[in-house]
Structure 1
Amino acid sequence: MIEVKYIVLLGDGMADWPLDELGGKTPLQVAHKPNMDTLAKRSLMGMVKTVPDGMPAGSDVANLSVFGFNPREVYTGRSPLEAVSMGIRLSDDDIALRCNLVTLSDTAAYQDATMLDYSAGEITTEEASELIQAIAQALNREGLSFYPGVSYRHCLVWNKGPLDLELTPPHDISGKPIREYLPKGKGSEVLLDLMVKSRDILKNHPVNIRRMKKGLNPATSIWLWGQGKRPAIPLFIEKYGLCGAVISAVDLIRGIGKASGMHTVEVPGATGNIHTNFKGKAMAALDELKSGRDLVYIHVEAPDECGHQGLVQEKIRSIELIDREVLGTLLDGLEGSGDYSILILPDHPTPIAIRTHCSDPVPFMIYRSGNPVVDENAVYTEAYASGKDLLIEKGYTLMDMFLGNR
């Protein structure tokens, strides 16, 4: 039996809508990506619906689909997956909530503020850790505990907390007044109280004073959302018979990997934004494959962050860096090493026009080493893939197709 190595290369939020400022094209259409476009000519291409109807268009739901897990069966919320990555042990009575460090406008009343920056200027992990420690020291109490994560992404665990809460992701309300999006539902007063109190704790913290002196956005508040219970995800090796590894800078994707029994790899300089160590991720993937892993899932957050921030040229550049530094390095390293297959896709679109996620189908391509040219004119774009007349309605079945199980 011929041994095949499998690589999933996922550019988070890479897909987009046509933009007037790009002459009616998308960032994928404008980006110079010779490696993707060369593979496209030898690949199976189409569109895949990674977000089932009625489910939130988040990276949690979409990546579960790409991993091959049916979100309707295994999804319990975003933050519990991140908690797994952080090493937090959740009991059956715990709910986990994502705790963003955000920048709100300075207003007398908390509810009158505007969401200026959902990431507090992409605050560093070291700075954020200091701030979350200050939050924890002041606000932790019986049944409520804060935990530090990566950059602006952290966690609150609430023992016996309610699930039926209406909470809004802060990246969905960039530039908007927060009043309409404050916590609602049973127990919402507890969360709102924590958010209001956090503003006083953070206001004159030395970390924020230093950031403001440098012209950087301070973290002026926490923002709570993404609640859920402990996840129950099948083991990847039991489902597919393959030993896998996950390479990502964000706790969400690492959490899915850990929850499904996959090895997670820490890459020095991996940040979750456009300044990440792109090439380092590819080198780590090659090392994992050489060490005996059958499949490596490489997640790159940069296009999504650029989409949320409305940065068109940066999103184009992030795609170009993925093509050159990640895919190019992979192709060089895999040359002469045997048979391999590569699946390239986004998890969801993050259109510049709306600066948040949507549930539109995304373009995918499956390349298998040694494939003949099937379409000389093929390029990897939303428009070209949508014209191939192949739409996978159940996104979680794409992994089966990729692995040759259907």
Structure 2
Amino acid sequence: MKYIVVLGDGMADKPIEELGNKTPLEYADTPTMDRLSKVSEVGLVHTIPKGMKPGSDTANLSVLGYDPKKYYTGRSPLEALSIGVDMKTTDVALRCNIVTVSTDDLPYEEKTIIDHSASEISTEDAAILLEAVRKELETDTYKFYVGTSYRHLTIWDNGEVVDLTPPHDVLGQKIGQYLPKDEVLREMQKKSYDILANHPINIDRMKKGLNPANSLWFWGAGTRPCVTSFEEKNNKKGAMISAVDLLKGIAVGAGMKVIEVEGATGGLETNYEGKASAAVDVLLNEGYDLAYVHVEAPDEMGHQGSVERKVKAIENLDKRVIKVITEAMDKSGEDYRLLVMPDHPTPICVRTHTSDPVPYMLYDSTDLKDEKHDYNEKCGKESGLFMANGYEMMDYLLSK
């Protein structure tokens, strides 16, 4: 038996009036999921433990079978693992986004955060901007490391796990009350705007109609993680396929194989087929038991508040990932179980994560159901099937 998880990050949502009071998942043209849902188990699962913030970090730890209450030490340390930063036990890692704040003449504290991803800036451009910041702000205490796209890392020697607000929670708002309370972090954010606002890359971006990547934003502080090996825990060899450093970091910590796919960006125009093919290859040709295919696009489109683009991301997931994987697995004759689900909702109406339960679909090629339901939030609720602890889902998937 082979096992596949297709994780549509932030895919779940609330009914939207312009979609006829359907969610993007209900509204999207998803022939593969529609077909599979009729022979699958569909239900709801709660991935965010009570009292914890609804992040992709805690949620994906849950889906991978790790209780966040036990294993979570912060988001940034997981990303540090991904990019090869060997943290000391006294280090604190910080997520260091390059974001867009308003370009008006107001003081920094009165500016508004426009875009948490700076128009999904390329890693190449972001690296040049981060180098400009490094020359001015890096010290023996604060070190900067390049990640992917707008997502980067700061290591704070002998640091403190301070409370920081994610930038996607501040979209469209004045930033003053959300700036770090720590004086050094706050001043570095302010100085980063002075360094980046008129950088040649940003001048060029604005000429092209793109948002300038004109400020750092610190969040997600945490200490060095300690995650049990996935193989030791489950007696299964697992592989991670994602463009996002967070997911790669979780995989590194869990001793899973991390597969890099050319053209995988974490955005809407990612290499969907490449991810699907990598999953099939690692299962059928490399002897791995489980492939975890993470697609960031629905979450990014939710943060952008774009109904049309979120629907498109879900349709891409259906036709360019799930269809490719299932056709190849069916052709191979290998028995397999496929779990399709989001990690958390990212509703268009709030443009950030929520803690609501998410719908799951579990397909088993050896146990075809006879159902009438589709796969979406409404049908998941109507099924009456509910898993209260998301970290139990992996055991459930692997139970056969």
Q: Would you say same fold, with TM above 0.5?
A: yes
Distance 2:240 2:279 in 1: 8
User: AA paired with 1:243?
Assistant: K
Distance 1:24 1:135 in 2: 45
Secondary structure of the corresponding residue to residue 370 of structure 2 = coil
Q: What is the CA distance between 1:370 and its match in structure 2? A: 3.1
Secondary structure of the corresponding residue to residue 166 of structure 1 = coil
Q: What is the CA distance between 1:205 and its match in structure 2? A: 1.4
Match of 2:172 in 1: 175
Distance 1:353 1:204 in 2: 33
Aligned partners of 2:163 and 2:221 also within 8 Å:
no
Match of 1:32 in 2: 29
Matches within 5 A, 1:358-377: 358-375=354-371, 377=372
The yes-or-no answer on 1:245 pairing with 2:239 is: yes
The yes-or-no answer on 1:61 pairing with 2:55 is: no
Matches within 5 A, 1:76-115: 76-106=73-103, 107-115=105-113
Distance 2:283 2:312 in 1: 28
**1:331-383 Cα shifts (integer Å, max 9, x gaps):** 111124210110000000000000000000000011111323321x2100100
The yes-or-no answer on 1:220 pairing with 2:217 is: no
User: AA paired with 2:141?
Assistant: G
Q: 1:18 aligns with which of 15, 28, 44?
A: 15
**1:128-167 Cα shifts (integer Å, max 9, x gaps):** 000111111211111110001100000000011111x221
State percent identity of aligned pairs. 52
Distance 1:311 1:211 in 2: 21
**1:10-52 Cα shifts (integer Å, max 9, x gaps):** 0000000011111111001101111111111111121000001
Aligned partners of 2:96 and 2:216 also within 8 Å:
yes
Aligned partners of 2:99 and 2:214 also within 8 Å:
yes
Q: What is the CA distance between 1:121 and its match in structure 2? A: 1.1
Matches within 5 A, 1:292-303: 292-303=287-298
Gap regions ≥5 residues in structure 1? none
Distance 1:373 1:123 in 2: 44
Match of 1:42 in 2: 39
Secondary structure of the corresponding residue to residue 265 of structure 2 = coil
User: AA paired with 1:14?
Assistant: M
Secondary structure of the corresponding residue to residue 335 of structure 1 = helix
Secondary structure of the corresponding residue to residue 360 of structure 1 = coil
Match of 1:390 in 2: 385
Distance 2:94 2:336 in 1: 39
Distance 1:386 1:39 in 2: 18
User: AA paired with 1:84?
Assistant: L
Deviates more, 1:208-217 or 1:243-252: 208-217
Match of 1:122 in 2: 120
Distance 2:224 2:368 in 1: 45
**Alignment TM-score, normalising by the size of structure 1:** 0.96
Following TM superposition, where does structure 1 have runs of at least 4 consecutive aligned residues deviating by more than 6 angstroms?
A: none
Q: 1:133 aligns with which of 131, 135, 140?
A: 131
Aligned residues: 397
Secondary structure of the corresponding residue to residue 157 of structure 1 = strand
The yes-or-no answer on 1:322 pairing with 2:317 is: yes
User: AA paired with 2:370?
Assistant: V
What is the CA RMSD across the aligned residues, in angstroms?
Answer: 0.9
Q: What is the CA distance between 1:306 and its match in structure 2? A: 0.5
**1:161-193 Cα shifts (integer Å, max 9, x gaps):** 111x22110011111100111112xxx101001
User: AA paired with 1:385?
Assistant: G
Deviates more, 1:330-339 or 1:8-17: 330-339
**Alignment TM-score, normalising by the size of structure 2:** 0.98
**1:217-267 Cα shifts (integer Å, max 9, x gaps):** 111110000000011110000000011100000000010011100000111
Gap regions ≥5 residues in structure 2? none
